[in-house]
Amino acid sequence: MAKYTRGTVTAFSPFDARADAEALRKAMKGMGTDEETILKILTSRNNAQRQEIASAFKTLFGRDLVDDLKSELTGKFETLMVSLMRPARIFDAHALKHAIKGAGTNEKVLTEILASRTPAEVQNIKQVYMQEYEANLEDKITGETSGHFQRLLVVLLQGNRDPDGRVDEALVEKDAQVLFRAGELKWGTDEETFITILGTRSVSHLRRVFDKYMTISGFQIEETIDRETSGDLEKLLLAVVKCIRSVPAYFAETLYYSMKGAGTDDDTLIRVMVSRSEIDLLDIRHEFRKNFAKSLHQMIQKDTSGDYRKALLLLCGGDDE
């Protein structure tokens, strides 16, 4: 797995799992709940430390920390704290399971996770899904999706994108021409070509293809996808292209639109803030400030309230004025 060092949440030192467990028990025992203590502890320890706290909590009190959090907290704040307690290795598998469970499928979650994770991360998600839920993730996804959207998800689920290496300029030229013929120059669109090239070529190769495509066609590849495709396939292709260009910029945009306008998409806000907090949230903050003329911190401040806001701002880890 890649070693990520651009998170806002890092290992807390000096760390004492027993002391934290005792403080959390005290915060939830008796009348009333001390939310401040709970949010301060859980947002300032990394995921591995939170798992140690949960283990110490069970050892000391014979109680399940997550169950106690669920019974003492409510609403979005509860969802956020429980999400922080989910072991990092099962976070994505759990999100995918809930995206394809019950009536209706949450295509947004499938798109966000499968477009943004590395091939190694995708392989790991599939293994964890099988271990935790005794089911094949690909079978579950193909059972709930269809058409070209399904095909691109299946390609991404293989986690077989070409490794980054020396870029072959002749192949760059060829791929750019093939994409141009499959989209702008064709009556109707050859979606298969877009799926194969965008789903399997290496990141460095595709970045060169996008530049070459612009030279040949006069359009950004995103403009062509926008014109030539629609619905869930369009959203997934655009997410793949954006993640090839920059994963932090993709997540900055995802966070921005989760809070822009009336109402907040709290599920997306929580999922991204928790899942990227130990990976690249510093880079996401930087892209956010650059692309939206305000900081992530300012937008969370304006768009959320109460303990939920306090906890999100602590995860955010600072303001980029």
Kindly state whether residue 108 falls inside one of the protein's structural domains: yes
Q: Are residues 61 and 117 in the same domain?
A: no
Instruction: Report the pLDDT value the prediction gives residue 1, as an integer from 0 to 100.
Output: 38
Q: How many domains does the chain have?
A: 4
Q: What is the mean pLDDT of each run of 10 residues along the chain (321 residues)?
A: 75 97 95 94 98 98 98 97 96 96 86 96 97 96 95 96 93 96 77 95 97 95 93 97 97 97 92 97 97 96 96 95 74
Kindly state whether residue 8 falls inside one of the protein's structural domains: no
Kindly state whether residue 97 falls inside one of the protein's structural domains: no
Instruction: Report the pLDDT value the prediction gives residue 3, as an integer from 0 to 100.
Output: 54
Cis amide linkage into residue 87, ω under 30° from 0: no
Kindly state whether residue 96 falls inside one of the protein's structural domains: no
CATH number at residue 130: 1.10.220.10
Q: Are residues 174 and 240 in the same domain?
A: yes
Kindly state whether residue 94 falls inside one of the protein's structural domains: no
Task: Select from 46, 64, 88 the last residue of a domain.
Answer: 88
Q: Are residues 306 and 261 in the same domain?
A: yes
Domain hosting residue 124, numbered range? 102-158
Which residue, 48, 52, 2, is CA-closest to 24?
52
Q: Are 317 and 281 in contact (CB under 8 A)?
A: yes
Kindly state whether residue 296 falls inside one of the protein's structural domains: yes
